[in-house]
């Protein structure tokens, strides 16, 4: 099994930055890809970004391209989402997940983090 623990959420003003972390433990060798989803109140959960676990290919939803960056740490057990130029519409609970990449989107098929709140004030 894989355990995912998220951190880094918080409250920022429009234009600010946050870095989310997702630490994986357990059977990390079984992870094919990891990434982030978010869900705002009254909205459907949406894909945000993903990265291949053993590669450097990254994927982003159009609304965050140029503002968010997903990357892995050197030990291959933590994935980060660096968020810059934050907008109020980025406000959501962000969830880390494992899964597979299909058509440039992460399909969660294994494990989820607990979620971390990101709030961007206007």
> Quick one: pLDDT at residue 55?
73
Q: What is the mean pLDDT of each run of 10 residues along the chain (122 residues)?
A: 95 98 91 94 95 88 97 84 98 96 87 96 94
Give the H/E segment covering residue 12.
strand 10-13
> Quick one: pLDDT at residue 29?
84
Q: Are strands 116-121 and 10-13 parallel, antiparallel or unpaired?
A: parallel
> Quick one: pLDDT at residue 74?
64
CA–CA gap between residue 14 and residue 115 (Å, rounded): 21
Q: Which residues contact 90 (CB under 8 A, 6 or more apart)?
A: 38, 64, 83, 118, 120
């Amino acid at each position: 099994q894989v355990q995912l623990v998220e951190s880094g959420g918080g409250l920022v003003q429009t234009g600010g930055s946050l870095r989310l972390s997702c630490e994986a433990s357990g059977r990390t060798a079984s992870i094919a890809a990891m990434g982030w989803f978010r869900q705002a109140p009254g909205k459907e959960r949406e894909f945000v970004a993903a990265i291949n676990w053993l590669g450097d290919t990254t994927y982003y939803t159009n609304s965050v391209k140029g503002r968010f960056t997903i990357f892995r740490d050197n030990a291959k057990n933590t994935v980060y989402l660096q968020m810059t130029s934050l907008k109020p519409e980025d406000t959501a609970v962000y969830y880390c997940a494992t899964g597979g990449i299909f058509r440039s989107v992460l399909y969660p098929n294994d494990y989820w983090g607990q979620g971390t709140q990101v709030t961007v004030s206007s």
